[in-house]
Every structure is written in structure tokens, then in C-alpha cells.
């Protein structure tokens, strides 16, 4: 039976309706500009759809054209849920949709990441689970500090267990069934992982906070366990679209299944580029789509608009060595690509040749920003950094520390968080002595002694002031800090940041911290300027902090991350990018494929998919290199080079 979209007729006095009608001709032109396979996927409405989209095949264009088509057929844009995996992708999609439909961005409230969409749902119903609005979303720093307090301070375990336990809890939640997962992991020290998990979740609830993984986990539980809530959102969403479907984990797959109704589902992705199993992604959801949706249909986008056919053809031959994959024959109408393999004695010779070739290509007119050096693991970058520095060629590192993970941003965000979330002990503890206020260990110990299960560190500090148990100098410093928090609590976020900077002398502290006048200080000052701009886009501190916490989904560095010279990057960090010339380096056994992945066929399959991703970043020139000796140790040639060479003969 054909699933016709629900017809929604805009009211006559809705100005957006008139704007949308005037853009219908643009929408039809957009459809006509799609390839035939893209058009077929966009216009098909009869059942659930999976679009298997090869590298460079116009996946995002097809996805946005589908949404525009749904709107033209009568669907209300506010009732379309479109899931992306990064905030940057969501913003790009909304920008494209406004251009195609003429509707303002505000008419696409559900073009979001999984975490953003789920938190929007969770906030509406959090009281059912014992939380009270506003709920705080813990950043990685706050999560790690909370676990450290439990493991080290309470259970007397070594701090080395903190990242291990954090990782296991994350994997457990994303599995969709954390207790059995953790039970199978046994113990951390003398304590059962399940008991540690219970303590951690109890602490989060006491602090009225959730960690990043809880956003999905608790929302899934709400939808699964409460039929009225599930029915409400199934009725709200007329259509669901999911980008990068090959990267979904079990929890995200559960959520999609709970929200979709009457087969109104459109998933896009490429199992050949599934490279995130270490994060819990499960490519089987993609491969088994037709088993879950027997009446579904698969569309294949096989034309690569990015890379020359010589590169596409060899990448096809490589991925054929993976048996568990969806079959497609990718091709390109562009010709004249170059694929070369080079062997060297050691990493210094390898780096010297790569940098020499970069110089040669640059002299031929290729901009430095259109070239990339990719590697499997971060340690490989050193030789290339040294060689590029010696040559004078500009370069940049991709996938570095995220904006919200930088010290100065974390400091200022902790002030904001402590102001609006008085139970956030982690943030309050961080700012007690930033800048230095003479709050020594003795003073902090006095405050901590007033803490209890119901009294937070900040509340204990206020008690310490009221009881006058602090030395006069410490009393004055602590009183000043708490006054700042009280003053900024109801300010606009950007006003609050400026007030913090002025009232606590943060810039003077930062100058001293970075040695005034250094480039490091200049960059940190520019980061603070960017923070002020970002906060000015939000009406409240809570709204700003929510967005900042959810941005951890995005990987990579600055917004203009590929504008500053030759890009040095891991293959994972380069996914989604494209360059005129790409050097895939370190093609050696135990490095690429990585030694951890050689223990199972599935591990090798993922490493081969990773090599496929690396190769298909290249538009025109693809160079693959390896060294006999790296870090003084002999390494055999990567098996992938043999597979590639067989295709080149």
C-alpha cells in the first residue's frame, strides 16, 4: 500500500506558506538537477528506504532534496525529524533547506543530532525519571572528575581506573543494556563494575545531571517504557530521516525504531565507510535493513563526483576483499587521476619524499590547503611535522583539542555552570582558585567538611561564610567569588562572560599563565573573543551551556579547519573531507592495519574500510607510502598495498 504523506495545508495568513510557494519552482529545478538514481530515491514514498551512497556521490544533496520534496508534497517542515551525526552537519543541512524551500531556519526545529533531538525530548519528561528542570549535561571533564571522586576518594582505587571505567560505562550505555555488559566485565580493583555504575548513576541523579551517553539511554527508556510518550512523538513526526546510518549504535537503532511510524523512514549512508566500531557503532544495522523492514527498498548512489575514476576503480577493488558488504559499482566520469605506491627505508626518508612532492605539486599550482598527509595513528605525524617545518611549508593539525576543551574556555564555562547549577561540585572546585585567591588545601578542607549527600560544595562554601569559620583573607576571597556567581546568574550569557573577565581579573591571570605577549596568549584571547560571540547567540546561560555540552559530538578543530596549509590528520579525523592530493602514509602491517585489529576478521574488515576512506579523500592525486623501519623497528608491507597493486596491474 502506498504511504501518502499527511497533507498539511498552511493557513492563508501564514507568510511562510507564500514564501514556500514562490520557491516551488526552485525545488522542481533542484529535482531536475539530481541524477536519475538520486531522483528515484527522493521521490519514492511507498515504504522504508535505505540509500547506500558511495563516497562523493552527493549524499547530503540527496537527503536535503528529500526533505524539500516532502515539504512540497504537503508535509509540515516542523514535523520532519532529520538526524545528523554532528552539529555542523545539522547547521549545513538547515542552511541548504532554507535556500531550497524559502522557509526560515526556525521552521526546521527537528533537524538535529541524535543527542540534541533526544535531549529536547528528555527535558520535556525528565521529572518522570526523578530529575528537575533545568538538567545539567556533564562535559567530559565533569564526568571524569565525578568518577574520580567515586573511585579514588570513596573506593580508594588508583586513578588509572578512571578512564577505563568511564570508557566501559559509555560502551555499556550505548549497547542499550548496560547491566549485563558491565557484569561481563567483572571488576575494577576489588569492586564490581555493576556496583561502580550504580554509584555513578546515583551521583548523577543527586546532582541533577546527565552525562552525554545518558541523553540517549534515558530517552530510549522513556520512549520504550511509556506508551503515551512514545505515541506522542510517533504522532508528532510525519517522517524520519537518518544520515550516516552505517554509524548508528544499538541505542540509536532502538531510538529510530521507537520513533518511526508507518514505515516513514529514509536512511542514508555507506557501509563501505563504517569505521567507528570502537565507539560502539554497529554496521549490521545497515547490512540488515531489509530484514528489519522487509517491505523496504534500497537505492544505490554509485557515481563519485569527487575523485578521478582511476582512484575510484582501485578503491573498489580494495573493498571487494570484504565479504560482508552491500554490493555496488562506484564510478566516476572524471579521468586523469594518479595512484602511486612508494617504499622507503625509514620514516625520515618517507617524510622527506612526501614534503618534496608537496613542494613540487605546489609549484604546479596546487594550493597547500588542497593537500593532506593522512596516517592511521597520531604518533606518525612527528616526522612530517619536522620535515614540513624545515621546508617552510605551512601546515596544520586536524582533529586537535576541541574548542570547549581548551583551558580558558573550560574555566569560563565552569563559572557559568557554577552560577546556574549550584550542585555542580566539579565546576565550583575548578574555579575556587582560578585565578588564585589564596584558597589553600586547609581552607578547601574546611569547606569540604561541611558537605553531605544533600549539601553541595558550593552550598558548603556558603555555610562556611555564614558560620565565619574561615580566615579573614580567605573569607573575603570566597565571598567575592560567590558574589560574582550570584551577580551573573540571571545575566545574558555574553554579559556574564564579560563580567567574569572584569570582576576576577581573568585576562591578567591568563597573561601570567601563558607568559604575556606570547602567541599562546594571543590565541587564547582570540578563543575568548569567539566565546563571547557564541554566548551572545543565546538568551540564557542554561541554553548556552546545553549547546556547548552537545557540541562534543563534533570532531575536528576550528570552523575554518582546512584553510591554513597542508593538513596533517588521522584518517578518522579526515572523514568527510576532500583534497586535490592525498598522501596515505605508514602503510605497514601492525600500523595500517593496526595491530589491535588483526585478531579478528571483523577488525581487518574495518581497517580495510578505513583504508578505503583514506583513498577516497583524494580528488586527483593519491600517493601511498610505507617504510621498512619506523621507530627503529622493522615492519612488513601492509597487506592492503598488495591488494591495491593487484588492481593496478
Listed residue (132, 139, 73) closest to 101, CA to CA: 73
From 27, 59, 300, 609, the catalytic residue: 59
Q: How far does CA 390 lie from the centroid of its chain?
A: 34
Residue positions counted in the chain:
649
From 64, 136, 142, 273, the catalytic residue: 273
Listed residue (83, 152, 151, 92) closest to 120, CA to CA: 83
Are 555 and 86 contacting, i.e. CB atoms less than 8 angstroms apart? Answer: yes
CA distances from 396 to 377, 560, 561, 564, 577 (A): 16, 11, 8, 6, 14
From 145, 220, 617, 620, the catalytic residue: 617
Q: What is the Cβ-side half-sphere exposure of residue 444, based on CA atoms within 13 angstroms?
A: 12
Q: Does residue 220 have an active-site annotation?
A: no
* Residue 589 grid cell: 602491517
Q: Does residue 649 have an active-site annotation?
A: no
Phi, psi of 558 (to 5 degrees): -65, 165
From 168, 211, 213, 243, the catalytic residue: 243
Neighbours of 601 (CB within 10 A): 12
Strands, E assignment, 20-128: 49-53, 80-84, 111-113
* pLDDT score, position 456: 93
pTM, entire model: 0.87
* pLDDT score, position 562: 46
- Backbone region of residue 143 per phi and psi (left: phi > 0; alpha: psi in -120 to 50; beta: other values): alpha
* pLDDT score, position 565: 93
* pLDDT score, position 520: 82
3-state secondary structure 489-542: CCCCHHHHHHHHHHHHCHHHHHHHHHCCCCHHHHHHHHHHHHHHHHHHCCCCHH
Are 463 and 450 contacting, i.e. CB atoms less than 8 angstroms apart? Answer: yes
Listed residue (65, 121, 122) closest to 241, CA to CA: 65
Blockwise average pLDDT, block size 10, the chain, 649 residues: 38 47 52 87 95 95 95 96 91 93 94 95 96 94 93 93 94 93 92 96 95 96 97 96 95 95 94 92 95 96 96 97 94 95 96 97 96 94 93 89 87 97 94 90 88 91 92 92 97 97 94 76 90 93 92 53 79 94 97 91 95 97 96 94 92
Are 412 and 506 contacting, i.e. CB atoms less than 8 angstroms apart? Answer: yes
From 244, 254, 310, 411, the catalytic residue: 244
From 60, 86, 140, 234, the catalytic residue: 60
Alpha helices (runs of H) in 129-226, residue ranges in sequence order: 140-148, 161-175, 178-185, 193-206, 212-225
Q: Does residue 59 have an active-site annotation?
A: yes
* pLDDT score, position 266: 97
Q: Does residue 244 have an active-site annotation?
A: yes
Amino acid at each position: 500500500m502506498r504511504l501518502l504523506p499527511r497533507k498539511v495545508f498552511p493557513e492563508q495568513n501564514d507568510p511562510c506558506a507564500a514564501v514556500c510557494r514562490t520557491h516551488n519552482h526552485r525545488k522542481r529545478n533542484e529535482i531536475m538537477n539530481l541524477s536519475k538514481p538520486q531522483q528515484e530515491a527522493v521521490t519514492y514514498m511507498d515504504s522504508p528506504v535505505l540509500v547506500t551512497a558511495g563516497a562523493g556521490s552527493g549524499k547530503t544533496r540527496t537527503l536535503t532534496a528529500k526533505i524539500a520534496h516532502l515539504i512540497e508534497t504537503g508535509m509540515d517542515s516542523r514535523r520532519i525529524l532529520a538526524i545528523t551525526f554532528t552539529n555542523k552537519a545539522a547547521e549545513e543541512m538547515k542552511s541548504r533547506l532554507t535556500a531550497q524551500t524559502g522557509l526560515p531556519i526556525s521552521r526546521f526545529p527537528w533537524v538535529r543530532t541524535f543527542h540534541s533531538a533526544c535531549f529536547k525530548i528528555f527535558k520535556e519528561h525528565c521529572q518522570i525519571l526523578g530529575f528537575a528542570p533545568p538538567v545539567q549535561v556533564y562535559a567530559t571533564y565533569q564526568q571524569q572528575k565525578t568518577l574520580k571522586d567515586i573511585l579514588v576518594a570513596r573506593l580508594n582505587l588508583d586513578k588509572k581506573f578512571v578512564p577505563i571505567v568511564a570508557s566501559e560505562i559509555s560502551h555499556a550505555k550505548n549497547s542499550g543494556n548496560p547491566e549485563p555488559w558491565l557484569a561481563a566485565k567483572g571488576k575494577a580493583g576489588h569492586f564490581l563494575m555493576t556496583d561502580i555504575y550504580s554509584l555513578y548513576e546515583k551521583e548523577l541523579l543527586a546532582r541533577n545531571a546527565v552525562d552525554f551517553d545518558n541523553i540517549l539511554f534515558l530517552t530510549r527508556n522513556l520512549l520504550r517504557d511509556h506508551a503515551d510518550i512514545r505515541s506522542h512523538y510517533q504522532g508528532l513526526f510525519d517522517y524520519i530521516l537518518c544520515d550516516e546510518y552505517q554509524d548508528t549504535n544499538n541505542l540509536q537503532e532502538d531510538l529510530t525504531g521507537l520513533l518511526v511510524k508507518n514505515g516513514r523512514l529514509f536512511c542514508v549512508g555507506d557501509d563501505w565507510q563504517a569505521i567507528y566500531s570502537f565507539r560502539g557503532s554497529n554496521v549490521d544495522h545497515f547490512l540488515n535493513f531489509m530484514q528489519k523492514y522487509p517491505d523496504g527498498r534500497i537505492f544505490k548512489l554509485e557515481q563519485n563526483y569527487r575523485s578521478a575514476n582511476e582512484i575510484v576503480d582501485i578503491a573498489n577493488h580494495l573493498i571487494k576483499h570484504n565479504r560482508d558488504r552491500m554490493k555496488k559499482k562506484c564510478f566516476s566520469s572524471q579521468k586523469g587521476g594518479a595512484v602511486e605506491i612508494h617504499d622507503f627505508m625509514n620514516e625520515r626518508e618517507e617524510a622527506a619524499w612526501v614534503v618534496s612532492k608537496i613542494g613540487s605539486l605546489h609549484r604546479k599550482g596546487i594550493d597547500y590547503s588542497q593537500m593532506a598527509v593522512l596516517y592511521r595513528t597520531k604518533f606518525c605525524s612527528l616526522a612530517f611535522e619536522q620535515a614540513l617545518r624545515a621546508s617552510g611549508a605551512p601546515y596544520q593539525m586536524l582533529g586537535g583539542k576541541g574548542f570547549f576543551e581548551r583551558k580558558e574556555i573550560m574555566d569560563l564555562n565552569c563559572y557559568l555552570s557554577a552560577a546556574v547549577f549550584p550542585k555542580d561540585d566539579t565546576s565550583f572546585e575548578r574555579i575556587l582558585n582560578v585565578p588564585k585567591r589564596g584558597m589553600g588545601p586547609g581552607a578547601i578542607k574546611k569547606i569540604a567538611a561541611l558537605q553531605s549527600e544533600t549539601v553541595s560544595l558550593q552550598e558548603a562554601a556558603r555555610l562556611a561564610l555564614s558560620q565565619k569559620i574561615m580566615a579573614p583573607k580567605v573569607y573575603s576571597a570566597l565571598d567575592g567569588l560567590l558574589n560574582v556567581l550570584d551577580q551573573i546568574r540571571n545575566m545574558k550569557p555574553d554579559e556574564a562572560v564579560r563580567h567574569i573577565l572584569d570582576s576576577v581579573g581573568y585576562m591578567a591571570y591568563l597573561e601570567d599563565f601563558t607568559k604575556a605577549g606570547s602567541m599562546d596568549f594571543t590565541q587564547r584571547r582570540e578563543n575568548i573573543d569567539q566565546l563571547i560571540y557564541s554566548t551572545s547567540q543565546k538568551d540564557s546561560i542554561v541554553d548556552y551551556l546545553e549547546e556547548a555540552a552537545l557540541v562534543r559530538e563534533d570532531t575536528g578543530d576550528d570552523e575554518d579547519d582546512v584553510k591554513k596549509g597542508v593538513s596533517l590528520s588521522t584518517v578518522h579525523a579526515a572523514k568527510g573531507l576532500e583534497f586535490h592530493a592525498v598522501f596515505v602514509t605508514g602503510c605497514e602491517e601492525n600500523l595500517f592495519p593496526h595491530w589491535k585489529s588483526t585478531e579478528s576478521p571483523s577488525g581487518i574488515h574495518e581497517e580495510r574500510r578505513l583504508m578505503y576512506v583514506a583513498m577516497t579523500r583524494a580528488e586527483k592525486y593519491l600517493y601511498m607510502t610505507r617504510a621498512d623501519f619506523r621507530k627503529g623497528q622493522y615492519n612488513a608491507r601492509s597487506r592492503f598495498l598488495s591488494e591495491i597493486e593487484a588492481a593496478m596491474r
